Chains A and B, each alone.
Chain A
């Protein structure tokens, strides 16, 4: 069964500290993995996408990693800010056997709270 598991479920850190969010998946065949940030009461916004051949990708203070062998991804946030308080959702897309885009499998998200 295709699944995406995120950990921790919630996390509280102090402003200025770093943190790492985890995403493990059992999706096959794999197309790509995307991290979304969702502010409370808002729609999710894409932070970064990882394809099979990519190991690391940065977007400002956000760095995503992908290990396709172990089917794990992480999102590292450096020098956290109060505005980083949000839910972070890991989404994996399957691939159809014709090479077209398949279904999306959503994780439940990690709720990050950054305290002053």
Chain B
């Protein structure tokens, strides 16, 4: 079945450590996104990529890094520079286009990161 796979589902990290969250999609979507979700807040955009080898900062990119070497993969690294990394991280993908498409986001199941 087509979809988005995030791993790991749960991750614990010590302060000062970098951690990488995996996101893979087989929907043949051009665009991929990383969002952060905190209790009582709306989803906030960390990074997005419209095409391979290109990505853009979102609203809260500080302390995060990404790469887009393959169309199917968009890993997110949470670095030690991120001051409050404990959160639920969601990866999503969508078709890219300039038409008035609906732009539906297809989300993965999320990764919950806890910093100890």
Interface size class of A (residues with CB under 8 A): 20 to 34
Contact of B42 among A31, A45, A109 (CB under 8 A): A109
Contact B110 A41 (CB under 8 A): yes
**CA A91 to CA B100, docked complex, whole Å:** 16
Q: Are B98 and A100 in contact (CB under 8 A)?
A: yes
Q: Which residue of A lies closest to B45 (CB)?
A: A104
Instruction: Tell me whether B16 is interfacial, beta carbon within 8 Å.
Output: no
- Complex Cα gap A23–B103 (Å): 19
Chain B's interface: helix, strand, loop or mixed, by majority?
loop
A42 near B: Cβ within 8 Å? yes
Alpha-carbon distance between A34 and B88 when the two chains are bound, in angstroms: 21
Find chain B residues with CB under 8 A from A89 CB: 42-43
A92 CB, nearest partner CB in chain B, Å = 11
Whether B68 is near chain A, meaning CB under 8 Å from some CB there, is no
The answer to whether A4 touches B100, judged by C-beta atoms less than 8 angstroms apart, is no
- Could you tell me if A101 and B100 are in contact, using CB atoms closer than 8 angstroms? yes
Cα of A43 to Cα of B105 in the assembled complex, Å: 10
Chain A 75-116 per-residue mask, 1 if CB under 8 angstroms from chain B, else 0:
000000000000001010101001111001011110000000
Query: B104 an interface residue at 8 Å Cβ cutoff?
Result: yes
CA distance A99 to B99 in the complex (A): 7
A42→B101 contact, CB < 8 A: no
Add 5 more A-B contacts to A89-B43, A100-B98, A100-B100 (CB < 8 A). A9-B40, A31-B103, A43-B92, A44-B105, A108-B40
Q: Which residues of A contact B (CB under 8 A)?
A: 4, 9, 31-32, 34, 41-46, 49, 89, 91, 93, 95, 98-101, 104, 106-109
Residue ranges of B at the interface with A (Cβ–Cβ < 8 Å): 4, 6, 40-45, 88, 90, 92, 97-105, 107-110, 112
Query: What are the 3 closest A-B residue pairs judged by CB atoms, nearest first?
Result: A43-B107, A106-B42, A100-B98
